[in-house]
């Protein structure tokens, strides 16, 4: 079997046996496709360390960052380990390839004032504005990923206990508390707005005006529109709202383990980066307030 065939077999393995999310599968497919373009549709045993090194060097020449290269190398290592288990190759060509060095990059977050302006931007007297307000409030209140937000079902929301149960990475569910203000917006949408636009029996919580499933790209566009209306000049993505949720919780004294559980991070180390952002805030506050700072 040639490289293309083994890539398809590996992606099918990730989809069926490991149940990875569609977005993750797409990322693996993209990274492996670039390997295929670089070496051609050869037999896997013909790929050695020099091919992998050339691919990473080409990344630098084409402006691909170190984080993207590190992610690609991780995908390649998973692929070649799979080939070894299937006895398609005798050795792993990525084994001695060094991981690209990553500069420490703290997540950019919104200030409390910017979040307040963003939350107030939708016109809640209209059906669309009420839905948008419910989505933005819920995302900031619970730190959901955009894919989790748009795929929520009505059954995933427990208004009596103030909880939401999103389907996260690896098809794992978690319980996340929802604040009273966000819950009020979502409850109003569910009771007053959604019945007017729902067509038939749809399990999806947030629907487009035509009653269809709202896409990630659709939510991203409406978020950018409200950011502009709120006078937020820095680029705003749904993930920045998730970063803001985590950082603001830690600034308020939340436990790191609790934030990890709410975000759905498998590793505490992934969550710990937000403590640096919170500490920067403390240092700045100290510098402004202390007479001998």
How far is Cα of residue 202 from the mean position of the Cα atoms in its chain? 25
Report the phi/psi class of residue 91: left, alpha or beta, with left for phi > 0 and alpha for psi in -120 to 50.
Answer: beta
Looking at domain 112-289, its CATH architecture is Orthogonal Bundle (1.10)
pTM of model > 0.75: no
Fold of 3-85: DNA polymerase; domain 1 (1.10.150)
Alpha carbon distance 222, 214 (integer Å)? 11
Q: List Cβ neighbours of 140 (8 Å cut-off, separation of 6 or more).
A: 115, 118, 119, 182, 241, 244, 245
Catalytic residues: 145, 169, 239, 242, 265, 274
| 228 three-state secondary structure | helix
Query: Count of CB atoms within 10 A of residue 285's CB?
Result: 12
Token look-up 């504005």 returns: 129
Burial class (CB in 10 A: 0-12, 13-18, 19+), 13: middle
CB of 183 closer than 8 Å to CB of 162: yes
Alpha carbon distance 145, 107 (integer Å)? 15
From first to last of the 293 residues of the chain, give the pLDDT tens digit: 889 999 999 999 999 888 888 888 898 999 999 999 988 888 888 898 889 888 888 888 788 877 788 888 889 999 999 999 999 999 999 888 877 766 556 678 899 999 999 999 999 999 999 999 999 999 999 999 999 999 999 999 999 999 999 998 888 899 999 999 999 999 999 999 999 888 777 899 999 988 888 899 999 999 999 999 999 988 899 999 999 998 898 888 888 888 888 998 888 877 877 777 777 766 666 566 656 64
Q: Which part of the chain is CATH 1.10.443.10? A: 112-289
| 278: nearest Cα among 102, 44, 107 | 107
Counted residue by residue, the chain has a size of 293
Alpha carbon distance 39, 45 (integer Å)? 12
Q: Which part of the chain is CATH 1.10.150.130? A: 3-85
């Amino acid at each position: 079997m040639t490289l293309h065939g083994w890539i398809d077999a590996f992606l099918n393995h990730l989809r069926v046996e490991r149940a990875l999310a569609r977005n993750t599968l797409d990322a693996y497919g993209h990274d492996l496709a670039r390997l295929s373009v670089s070496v051609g549709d050869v037999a896997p045993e013909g790929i050695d360390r020099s091919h992998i090194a050339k691919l990473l060097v080409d990344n630098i020449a084409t402006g691909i960052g170190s984080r993207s290269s590190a992610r690609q190398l991780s995908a390649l290592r998973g692929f070649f380990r799979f080939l070894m288990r299937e006895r398609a190759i005798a050795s792993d060509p990525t084994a001695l390839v060094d991981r690209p060095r990553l500069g420490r990059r703290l997540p950019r977050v919104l200030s409390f004032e910017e979040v307040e302006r963003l939350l107030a931007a939708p016109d809640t007297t209209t059906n669309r504005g009420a839905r948008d307000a419910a989505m933005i409030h819920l995302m900031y209140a619970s730190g959901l990923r955009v894919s989790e937000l748009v795929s929520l079902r009505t059954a995933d929301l427990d208004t009596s206990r103030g909880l939401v149960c999103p389907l996260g990475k690896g098809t794992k569910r978690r319980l996340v508390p929802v604040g009273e203000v966000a819950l009020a917006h979502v409850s109003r949408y569910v009771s007053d707005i959604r019945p007017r636009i729902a067509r038939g029996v749809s399990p999806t919580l947030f629907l487009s005006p035509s009653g269809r499933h709202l896409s990630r790209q659709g939510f991203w566009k409406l978020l950018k529109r409200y950011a502009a209306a709120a006078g937020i000049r820095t680029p705003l993505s749904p993930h920045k709202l998730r970063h803001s949720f985590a950082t603001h919780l830690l600034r308020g004294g939340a436990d790191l383990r609790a934030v990890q559980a709410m975000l759905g991070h498998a590793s505490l180390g992934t969550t710990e980066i937000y403590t640096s952002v919170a500490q920067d805030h403390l240092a700045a506050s100290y510098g402004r307030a202390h007479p001998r700072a």
